[in-house]
Structure 1
Amino acid sequence: MAGGGTAVLCQVLSGTGGVGKTQLAAHHARTAWQAGAVDLLVWVTATSRDAVLSA
């Protein structure tokens, strides 16, 4: 795209408690941050839709 568009990437992890979702998400976030692949990194406790929107 010559005009410099914006790309929004999203990953969703789901599953029951204790299967390692948080550790997987933390590893992915840390790796992306250290590689300089992201300009902004926000960690949100997503207990509900409202919690995500307010964060």
Structure 2
Amino acid sequence: MGDIYNGLVGSGFAVERMREPGTSDPEDYDPGPWGEFTPELMSKLPAVLIFETRKE
């Protein structure tokens, strides 16, 4: 995440907010067809990270 954040800031963007959509309840996650996503991990690590930025 740090590399992404630093890249945005280094390119002249101000990061106003970071969002990590998801839930902290492991029961809300499906392990995927090959078991690549463990529900315990997915409840702690976001699969999606959204940066809200504005150009300075």
Please tell me the TM-score bracket, short chain as reference: under 0.3
Structure 2 length-normalised TM? 0.25
Please state which structure has a larger fraction of its residues in strand.
2
Please state which structure has a larger fraction of its residues in helix.
1
Structure 1 length-normalised TM? 0.25
Q: Give 1 or 2 for the bigger CA radius of gyration.
A: 2
Higher RCO, 1 vs 2 (CA within 8 Å, ≥6 residues apart): 2
